[in-house]
Amino acid sequence: MSIRHVNPEGLLKFDQLTQVVVTDASRMAFIAGQSAMNERFELVGGDDCFAQSVQALRNLRTAVEAAGSSVDRVVSSTVYLKNLTPAVGEQFMRALGVALDGVPFPPHAFSMVGVQSLASPDILVEISAVAVVDA
Protein backbone atom coordinates (compact mmCIF):
# COMPACT_ATOMS: atom_id res chain seq x y z
CA MET A 1 0.00 0.00 0.00
CA SER A 2 1.36 3.39 -0.92
CA ILE A 3 0.43 7.01 -0.33
CA ARG A 4 1.79 9.54 -2.83
CA HIS A 5 1.71 13.30 -2.19
CA VAL A 6 1.55 15.48 -5.29
CA ASN A 7 1.93 19.26 -5.49
CA PRO A 8 1.58 20.07 -9.18
CA GLU A 9 3.29 23.06 -10.74
CA GLY A 10 0.92 26.01 -10.98
CA LEU A 11 -0.85 25.29 -7.64
CA LEU A 12 -0.27 26.84 -4.23
CA LYS A 13 2.42 25.15 -2.13
CA PHE A 14 3.05 25.33 1.61
CA ASP A 15 4.32 22.91 4.23
CA GLN A 16 1.05 21.79 5.82
CA LEU A 17 -0.86 21.14 2.58
CA THR A 18 -0.65 18.54 -0.14
CA GLN A 19 -2.80 19.46 -3.13
CA VAL A 20 -3.33 15.83 -4.24
CA VAL A 21 -2.99 12.55 -2.36
CA VAL A 22 -3.09 9.28 -4.30
CA THR A 23 -3.34 5.89 -2.60
CA ASP A 24 -3.93 2.33 -3.65
CA ALA A 25 -5.40 1.47 -0.24
CA SER A 26 -8.41 -0.77 -0.01
CA ARG A 27 -9.35 0.14 3.58
CA MET A 28 -10.19 3.68 4.64
CA ALA A 29 -11.42 5.23 7.89
CA PHE A 30 -13.88 8.10 7.77
CA ILE A 31 -13.50 10.18 10.94
CA ALA A 32 -16.42 12.25 12.24
CA GLY A 33 -15.90 15.91 13.02
CA GLN A 34 -13.56 16.38 15.96
CA SER A 35 -13.75 19.52 18.06
CA ALA A 36 -11.92 20.66 21.19
CA MET A 37 -14.34 18.79 23.48
CA ASN A 38 -12.78 16.26 25.85
CA GLU A 39 -14.32 12.94 26.93
CA ARG A 40 -16.22 14.72 29.74
CA PHE A 41 -17.88 17.05 27.20
CA GLU A 42 -15.76 19.96 28.44
CA LEU A 43 -14.43 22.48 25.94
CA VAL A 44 -10.63 22.68 25.96
CA GLY A 45 -9.13 26.03 24.98
CA GLY A 46 -11.88 28.44 25.98
CA ASP A 47 -12.42 31.13 23.36
CA ASP A 48 -8.91 30.74 21.91
CA CYS A 49 -9.04 29.44 18.33
CA PHE A 50 -5.38 28.34 18.41
CA ALA A 51 -5.86 26.31 21.62
CA GLN A 52 -9.10 24.77 20.35
CA SER A 53 -7.42 23.89 17.05
CA VAL A 54 -4.56 22.13 18.83
CA GLN A 55 -7.03 20.10 20.91
CA ALA A 56 -9.20 19.26 17.88
CA LEU A 57 -6.11 17.98 16.04
CA ARG A 58 -5.14 15.90 19.08
CA ASN A 59 -8.68 14.49 19.21
CA LEU A 60 -8.38 13.70 15.50
CA ARG A 61 -5.17 11.79 16.24
CA THR A 62 -6.98 9.80 18.95
CA ALA A 63 -9.82 8.92 16.55
CA VAL A 64 -7.47 7.98 13.71
CA GLU A 65 -5.41 5.74 16.00
CA ALA A 66 -8.59 4.08 17.30
CA ALA A 67 -9.36 3.16 13.68
CA GLY A 68 -6.02 1.35 13.45
CA SER A 69 -4.25 4.06 11.52
CA SER A 70 -1.97 7.02 12.26
CA VAL A 71 -1.87 10.72 11.43
CA ASP A 72 0.69 10.18 8.69
CA ARG A 73 -2.01 8.15 6.91
CA VAL A 74 -4.60 10.96 6.95
CA VAL A 75 -5.15 11.69 3.28
CA SER A 76 -7.87 14.31 3.47
CA SER A 77 -9.68 16.53 5.95
CA THR A 78 -12.25 19.28 6.05
CA VAL A 79 -11.67 21.98 8.63
CA TYR A 80 -14.68 24.04 9.70
CA LEU A 81 -13.79 27.34 11.37
CA LYS A 82 -16.36 29.58 13.01
CA ASN A 83 -16.34 33.12 11.60
CA LEU A 84 -13.33 32.46 9.38
CA THR A 85 -11.08 35.47 8.81
CA PRO A 86 -7.42 35.58 7.73
CA ALA A 87 -6.43 35.81 11.42
CA VAL A 88 -8.53 32.76 12.34
CA GLY A 89 -7.06 30.80 9.43
CA GLU A 90 -3.55 31.78 10.54
CA GLN A 91 -4.27 30.51 14.07
CA PHE A 92 -5.34 27.15 12.67
CA MET A 93 -2.24 26.96 10.45
CA ARG A 94 -0.05 27.71 13.49
CA ALA A 95 -1.82 24.91 15.38
CA LEU A 96 -1.00 22.47 12.54
CA GLY A 97 2.65 23.26 13.16
CA VAL A 98 2.67 22.19 16.83
CA ALA A 99 -0.46 20.11 17.39
CA LEU A 100 1.16 16.78 18.16
CA ASP A 101 3.17 17.57 21.28
CA GLY A 102 5.22 20.18 19.44
CA VAL A 103 5.46 18.16 16.23
CA PRO A 104 3.59 19.31 13.11
CA PHE A 105 0.52 17.45 11.88
CA PRO A 106 1.61 15.68 8.66
CA PRO A 107 0.73 17.36 5.35
CA HIS A 108 -2.42 16.10 3.64
CA ALA A 109 -5.13 17.38 1.32
CA PHE A 110 -7.52 19.64 3.23
CA SER A 111 -10.14 22.29 2.77
CA MET A 112 -10.75 25.14 5.20
CA VAL A 113 -14.40 26.21 5.39
CA GLY A 114 -15.81 29.20 7.25
CA VAL A 115 -19.11 28.61 9.04
CA GLN A 116 -21.46 30.77 11.07
CA SER A 117 -21.71 28.28 13.92
CA LEU A 118 -20.90 24.71 14.94
CA ALA A 119 -22.59 22.19 17.28
CA SER A 120 -22.14 24.44 20.34
CA PRO A 121 -21.90 28.23 20.34
CA ASP A 122 -18.47 28.00 22.02
CA ILE A 123 -16.89 25.57 19.55
CA LEU A 124 -14.63 27.41 17.10
CA VAL A 125 -13.18 24.51 15.07
CA GLU A 126 -14.23 21.07 13.87
CA ILE A 127 -12.22 18.67 11.70
CA SER A 128 -13.46 15.60 9.81
CA ALA A 129 -10.97 13.36 8.02
CA VAL A 130 -10.30 10.32 5.86
CA ALA A 131 -7.37 8.05 6.70
CA VAL A 132 -5.84 4.97 5.10
CA VAL A 133 -6.00 1.87 7.33
CA ASP A 134 -3.45 -0.87 6.74
CA ALA A 135 -4.94 -4.19 5.77
CATH topology of domain 32-132: 60s Ribosomal Protein L30; Chain: A; (3.30.1330)
Give per-residue pLDDT as tens, 49-66: 999 999 999 999 999 999
User: Residue 25 has what DSSP assignment?
Assistant: -
80, β-bridge pairs: 113, 126
pTM, 2 dp:
0.87
Q: Which amino acid, one-letter code, is at 19?
A: Q
Q: How far apart are CA 79 and CA 34, in angstroms?
A: 9
pLDDT at 102: 93
Question: Which residue ranges make up each domain of the chain?
Answer: 32-132
Q: How far apart are the first and last CA of the chain?
A: 9
